[in-house]
Amino acid sequence: MIESLTVTTPKFLFVARLLICLFPFNLSADAPRIRVSIIAKANGGEESRLLSSLSNEFRKLDGVQVTDEQPTVKIICTVTPGPSGLARALPGLRYDYKKRSHSGEAGNQKIGYAAAVAMTDAEDNFKDLFVQMAYDIDSLAKIIATKIDSDVIEKIRRTAQPSPTP
């Protein structure tokens, strides 16, 4: 009796390992990819950097594919370097009215960026619109991707998941 257990144990372990390895692939096959198209416009020659940062941040999101072909969501982002008034909106940055310069994290360089972000579905129906500010384009892209993930993409994920059957 003990001999038969030792013969079947390796076969059982092989089958169990095979099932464990194939299980994640089966789960990912059930969840459709959410296709996102990004249109980026920026003043001051920052357009390619903005598009690159936004694409990188959206690719990091679970189940999101950045593409221009048959998108589920279209994201239109327009960015402009921050005016002197933006310094008052960003904490930790001070504007010296006598010297007409900025001090703080950004020094005397251009400080901050303001973005207007609009989202539509595949048929160009309006989904959402918001304005966001940040110190640099990479931070702005991360904030935008996180906000869209929680506000729009998560709803699409929930509706795309099959409901459990009793």
Are 85 and 142 contained in the same domain?
Answer: yes
Instruction: Enter the pTM of the model.
Output: 0.66
Are 22 and 54 contained in the same domain?
Answer: no
Q: Is the dihedral of CA 134, 139, 145, 149 positive or negative?
A: negative
**Other CB atoms closer than 10 Å to residue 104's CB: what's the count?**
14
Q: Are 48 and 38 in contact (CB under 8 A)?
A: no
Are 20 and 42 contained in the same domain?
Answer: no
CATH number assigned to the domain comprising residue 144: 3.30.160
Q: Is the dihedral of CA 67, 76, 74, 90 positive or negative?
A: positive
Residue 26: which domain range?
1-30
Q: pLDDT per position in the chain (166 positions), as tens? A: 455 444 456 666 565 565 565 555 444 445 568 999 999 998 877 899 999 999 999 999 988 999 999 999 999 999 988 654 455 555 555 444 444 444 444 444 456 888 999 999 989 999 889 999 888 899 999 999 999 998 888 888 888 766 555 5
What is the C-alpha to C-alpha distance for residues 73 and 15, in angstroms, rounded to an integer?
41
What is the C-alpha to C-alpha distance for residues 144 and 110, in angstroms, rounded to an integer?
21
Q: How many domains, the chain?
A: 2
Q: Is residue 166 part of a domain?
A: no
